[in-house]
Each structure stands twice: as C-alpha cells, then as structure tokens.
Amino acid sequence: MKNTIRVARAEQRMTQQELSDKVGVSRQTINAIESGKFVPSTVLALKIAHTFEKSVEEIFSLEDED
C-alpha cells in the first residue's frame, strides 16, 4: 500500500510526532506506515485522513501487488 503521509505532513509543516499525538499512536508507527512497513487499521487510516482533511483515497492507495 502506498501513501502520501509524508507529503501531507510537509504541506502542513507537521512532524511525525505531532501527527502521532493527533491520531493516538507512537511516532514509530507513523514512521512504519510512511515507509510502507506497516499497513494501518481502517480506523487509523480514517483518523490520519481526517487530520489532513482529505479522503482516505487521497492518502492511501493500493499497489498492483496488494
């Protein structure tokens, strides 16, 4: 699964720690999601998208092998 979290954070000048505090997970979890090592739960994906005022589809997308 691909994501644009890093881009969305940069647009808002938000650190991984600030995002993690807003959605209730560790900074390491945000890092793992950004790097594609961890696929978030539906609830977490919704929280992240809501934080950036975007749809889930604007933040996350499936890759061919998904």
SS3 state at 60: strand
**Number of structural domains in the chain:** 1
Residue 21 domain boundaries: 2-59
In a domain, 64, yes or no: no
In a domain, 50, yes or no: yes
In a domain, 65, yes or no: no
- Side chain identity at residue 60, one-letter code: F
Digit-coded pLDDT (tens) for 3-40: 999 999 999 999 999 999 999 999 999 999 999 999 99
Residue 56 pLDDT > 90: yes
Q: Distance between CA atoms of 34 and 7, rounded to whole angstroms? A: 10
Length of the chain: 66
pLDDT averaged over every residue in the chain: 96
| Res 62: pLDDT | 92
Q: Distance between CA atoms of 53 and 49, rounded to whole angstroms? A: 6
| Res 7: pLDDT | 98
H/E stretch holding 3: strand 2-3
In a domain, 39, yes or no: yes
pTM above 0.85, yes or no: yes
Digit-coded pLDDT (tens) for 35-48: 999 999 999 999 99
Domain of 42: which CATH number?
1.10.260.40
